[in-house]
Amino acid sequence: MREEEKKQKQLLDTIKMLSPGTPLREGLENILKGKMGALIVIGDTPAVMDIVDGGFALNVDFTPAYVYELAKMDGAIILNHGVKKILYANAQLIPDPSIYSSETGIRHRIAERVAKETGEVVISISQRRNIISLYQGYNKYIVQDTGRILTKANQAIQTLEKYKVVLNQGMNHLSALEYEDLVTTYDVAVVLQRTEMVMRIVNEIEKFICELGNEGRLVSMQLEELMANVVEDGMNVINDFNINQHLDSKMVLKEIKSLSSEELLDLSNIAKILGYENNVAALDAPALSKGYRLLNKIPRLPSAVIENLVKQFGEFQHILKASIEKLDDVEGIGEIRARAIKEGLTRLRDQVMMGRQI
Ligand SMILES: Nc1ncnc2c1ncn2[C@@H]1O[C@H](COP(=O)(O)OP(=O)(O)OP(=O)(O)O)[C@@H](O)[C@H]1O
What pLDDT digit, counting tens, does each position of 52-87 carry? 998 999 999 999 999 999 999 999 999 999 999 999
Expressed in angstroms and rounded, the spacing between residue 51 Cα and the centre of ligand 1 is 16
Residue 167 scores a pLDDT above 60: yes
Measuring CA to CA, how many Å separate 239 from each of 22, 247, 288? 42, 11, 11
Strand, coil or helix: what is 61?
A: strand
**For range 120-139, the mean pLDDT:** 92
129 pLDDT exceeds 90?
no
Cα 76 to Cα 40: distance, rounded to the nearest angstrom: 6
H or E, element range at 314: none
CA dihedral of 14, 19, 24, 25, whole degrees rounded to 10: 140
pLDDT at 1 over 70: no
pLDDT band for position 141 (cuts 50, 70, 90)? very high
| pLDDT band, residue 32 (cuts 50/70/90) | very high
**If we measure between CA atoms, which residue out of 341, 315, 318 comes closest to residue 328?**
341
Within 10 angstroms of residue 287's Cβ, the number of other Cβ atoms is: 23
Run of H or E including 98: none
User: What does the pLDDT look like over 203-230, one tens digit per residue?
Assistant: 999 999 999 999 999 999 999 999 999 9
86: left (phi over 0), alpha (psi -120 to 50) or beta: beta
Q: What atom in ligand 1 is closest to the CA of residue 106? A: 21
For residue 170, the SS3 value is: helix
Q: What's the pLDDT score for residue 51?
A: 96
Separation of alpha carbons 293 and 296, rounded Å: 5
Is 75 assigned a ligand-binding role in the annotation? yes
Map residue 103 onto helix, strand or coil. Answer: coil
CB 84 within 8 A of CB 42: no
Q: Is 71 in the pocket of ligand 1 (CB under 6 A)?
A: no
Quick check: CB of 107 below 6 Å from ligand 1? yes
With beta carbons less than 8 A apart as the criterion, state whether 240 and 316 touch: yes
**What pLDDT shows up at residue 358?**
52
CA–CA separation, 264 vs 320, rounded Å? 33
Q: What is the mean pLDDT of residues 101-106?
A: 92
Determine if the pTM surpasses 0.90.
no
pLDDT of residue 279: 66
Residue closest via CA to ligand 1's atom 13 equals: 107
Q: Any residues with CB less than 8 A from the CB of 89 and at least 6 apart, and which?
A: 55, 56, 58, 70, 73, 75, 76, 77, 78
Ligand 1 atom nearest to CA at 129: 25
Closest atom, ligand 1, to C-alpha of 103: 21
Say how many Å lie between the CA of residue 106 and the centre of ligand 1: 5
Q: Helical H runs in the chain?
A: 2-17, 23-33, 46-49, 64-70, 106-118, 146-180, 185-212, 217-226, 230-241, 249-257, 261-265, 267-273, 292-295, 303-313, 316-321, 324-328, 335-357
Ligand 1 center to 260 CA (angstroms): 41
69 neighbors 30 (Cβ within 8 angstroms): no
> Would the annotation count 160 as a binding residue?
no
Tell me which residue has its CA closest to atom 29 in ligand 1: 74
Average pLDDT of 347-355? 94
The 10s digit of each residue's pLDDT in 262-315 is: 999 999 999 999 999 866 678 999 999 999 999 999 999 999 999 999 999 999
Position 281 scores a pLDDT of 73
Q: Which of 189, 155, 201, 356 is nearest to 263 (CA)?
A: 189
DSSP structural state of residue 184: B
Which pLDDT score, from 0 to 100, does residue 231 have?
97
Q: What percent of the chain has pLDDT over 70?
A: 98
Integer angstrom CA distances of residue 165 from 131, 192, 230: 39, 14, 12
Pocket test for ligand 1, best of 88, 104, 107 (most atoms within 8 A of CB): 107
Q: Which atom in ligand 1 lies closest to the alpha carbon of residue 107?
A: 21
- 38: part of which helix (H) or strand (E)? strand 38-42
